[in-house]
Structure 1
Amino acid sequence: MPQVNLLPLPLIASTRAASNAIPGRRLRRFPGLYRWLLPAALLALWQAATSQHWIAAQVLPSPYEVWLTLDYLATSGDLWLNTAASVQRVVAGFAIGSLIGLVLGGAMGLSPTLRAYLQPSFNALVQIPVLGWFPFALLIFGIGEPLKYALIAHAALVPVTLGTMQAFRQAPQPLIEVARVNGFGRRQIISAVVLPAAVPVLFSAFRLAFTKAWLSLVVVELIASSEGLGYLIVYGRQLFQLDLVMASVVVVGAIGWLIDRGFTLAEGRLLRHRLTPGARP
């Protein structure tokens, strides 16, 4: 005989809705918890693979061994010295590439004639990866620090140039016409109308450029360097110390995540400030 539910239908519906809302309520209470589910699962899988000997320890060291290596690098000071060298290179290369990208992208965005001459060649050249320029840059700059700065600057140059050109081309034409009617000159229009409207696109371009610069830094240090996080990876591989390799990879990923997180927070604050009523551009 089928079981009869004596609860009224509205009460059943409300009970089910309340039970279904519990996970959503928990997520609202801990909004950042779900972000760590996948990293925690990967870490547990890594620990299980090493403890159960699914993968040989010579191929994949355990998380505890990697932690001990990180602790040793931090205690000895090698971690901070190599991290400082990498950060110095990426900041210098990013600054150089961004400055050139702002000038070049702004010129192409404001001048249709210059854009018609330069954009086709630029679009063709940017398809060449950073490593494709390495032999030519090696002949020009040698094996020293200028080589690394040049390749990192190239990686940052492309997103900033394209983003600046797009931002300047998308400047609001009605506001530009109003500024011209009020007697604004070209420089005043750029500073008072074009640049404030281009800030969100430029910020996204800078964020992408710094990410590209950081990735290129590691690649450059893998090839030609005697210090830096990329050098630690190569050094560990040559000595077959995979705990050192994994520790360096963890540091590279953590720094990259922190940089991206910083840009995300700064971009969010910038957009909230621009959307706030009465906020000045």
Structure 2
Amino acid sequence: MTLIHSSPAPVPFAPRTARALVQSLAPLGALSGQILLGLSFPLALLALWSLGAARGWVPPQILPAPSVVWQSFLDLCADGSLALHTNASLIRVAEGFALGATVGLVFGAAVGLVPALRAWVWPPVQAATRVNVLAWMPLLTLFLGIDEALKVVVIGWSVSIPVILATARAVGDVPATLRELGAVLNLTRAQRLRLIVLPQALPQIATGLREGLANAWQSLVIVELFASFEGLGYLMTWGRQLFQLDLVLVAMAVIAVLGFSLDLSLRAVERWLQPWQTGAGHGR
């Protein structure tokens, strides 16, 4: 008696390829949906703005039409003035952020790691953070004048506050069990900082840095409104004085785009520094 062995029919190549293609494109489709959802609200505002300008709901002296703002943007790009003001503001933000982030990380880590230092300086630091940076500007002006040093220090001050708070809290809140584990494994202080404290504290520190970057842009506009002859804040002041609100709106749009782009860059760096984290914030 002859036994006939039957094998399952092979799955056609085309359906398997199509299924794999659909699976590979699924994340892209989800991302596109998120992008479209995020753009829906600003596009609706833009449509309402255009309709209001065309129907004359708002006087053009108060809110110019989108076409006027766009033409002003093109003119500023053509004569190079927008690039000049943007470059000046970016340099100030970069210098202030570097200063504030460095001071915030070092001081925050020291406060979090040394309980005696925390008990000594933490109450006055928390009291100082309750005072807006604007309140310190008259005092800082006495020592720094109104030149670039004042702008960089004010921006750095506004950056350092959330970085100090986030870093001190993140480093100080590392569970005692993890610290004891480092002692049991006979890790050196540097190894405990690198292998235990830093991975545990990094998410909170990154949040403080992003908040500090947002504060940097807000403080930039304030200091450039106060005393400056170049920069996006100065462009806003100039447009307001000339009653050319299209210049104000152009400067506001550029600040918003730059701030959002830099925040996305910080998020990308954060993901690169935390390869064990997924996009949802859970461990792999």
Matched, 1:223 2:226: yes
Secondary structure of 1:85's match?
Answer: helix
Secondary structure of 1:30's match?
Answer: helix
Spell out the pairing of 1:148-159 with structure 2 (5 A cutoff).
148-159=151-162
Matched, 1:233 2:236: yes
The answer for unaligned runs of 5 or more in structure 2 is 1-28, 280-284
- Could you list the runs of 4 or more consecutive aligned residues of structure 1 that deviate by over 6 angstroms after TM superposition? 26-29
Q: Which letter does structure 2 place at the counterpart of 1:129? A: N
- Cα distance, 1:155–1:243 mapped onto 2, change above 3 Å: same
1:204 equivalent in structure 2: 207
Matched, 1:57 2:72: no
- Cα distance, 1:275–1:48 mapped onto 2, change above 3 Å: closer
Of the three residues 237, 248, 264, the one matched with 2:267 is 264
1:9 equivalent in structure 2: none
Of the three residues 167, 170, 173, the one matched with 1:170 is 173
Q: Is the 8 A contact 2:68 2:246 kept in 1?
A: yes
Paired residue total: 251
| C-alpha distance after superposition, 1:93-144 (max 9, x if no partner) | 1111111111111111011211111111111111111111110111110010
| C-alpha distance after superposition, 1:60-97 (max 9, x if no partner) | 11000000000011111111111111011011111111
Matched, 1:98 2:104: no
Of the three residues 213, 216, 232, the one matched with 2:216 is 213
Q: Please report how far the alpha carbon of residue 186 of structure 1 lies from its aligned counterpart in structure 2 after TM superposition.
A: 2.4
Matched, 1:142 2:142: no
Q: Equivalents in 1 of 2:277, 2:61: separation in Å?
A: 53
The answer for unaligned runs of 5 or more in structure 1 is 1-25, 277-281
1:126 equivalent in structure 2: 129
Q: Please report how far the alpha carbon of residue 188 of structure 1 lies from its aligned counterpart in structure 2 after TM superposition.
A: 2.9
Of the three residues 69, 72, 93, the one matched with 2:72 is 69
Q: Is the 8 A contact 1:27 1:33 kept in 2?
A: no
Q: Please report how far the alpha carbon of residue 272 of structure 1 lies from its aligned counterpart in structure 2 after TM superposition.
A: 4.8
Q: Is the 8 A contact 2:271 2:277 kept in 1?
A: no
- Cα distance, 1:119–1:76 mapped onto 2, change above 3 Å: same
Matched, 1:160 2:194: no
- Cα distance, 1:118–1:29 mapped onto 2, change above 3 Å: closer
Q: Which letter does structure 2 place at the counterpart of 1:91? A: A
Q: Please report how far the alpha carbon of residue 268 of structure 1 lies from its aligned counterpart in structure 2 after TM superposition.
A: 4.3
Secondary structure of 2:35's match?
Answer: coil
Q: Equivalents in 2 of 1:192, 1:270: separation in Å?
A: 13
Matched, 1:246 2:249: yes
Q: Equivalents in 2 of 1:83, 1:218: separation in Å?
A: 12
Q: Equivalents in 2 of 1:43, 1:271: separation in Å?
A: 38
Q: Please report how far the alpha carbon of residue 148 of structure 1 lies from its aligned counterpart in structure 2 after TM superposition.
A: 0.3
Query: What percentage of residue pairs aligned between the two structures are identical?
Result: 40
Q: Which letter does structure 1 place at the counterpart of 2:141? A: L
Q: Alpha carbon RMSD of aligned pairs, Å?
A: 1.9
2:12 equivalent in structure 1: none
Q: Please report how far the alpha carbon of residue 264 of structure 1 lies from its aligned counterpart in structure 2 after TM superposition.
A: 3.2
Secondary structure of 2:146's match?
Answer: coil
Q: Equivalents in 2 of 1:205, 1:113: separation in Å?
A: 23
Q: Equivalents in 1 of 2:180, 2:278: separation in Å?
A: 23
Q: Which letter does structure 1 place at the counterpart of 2:96? A: G
Q: Equivalents in 1 of 2:143, 2:79: separation in Å?
A: 36
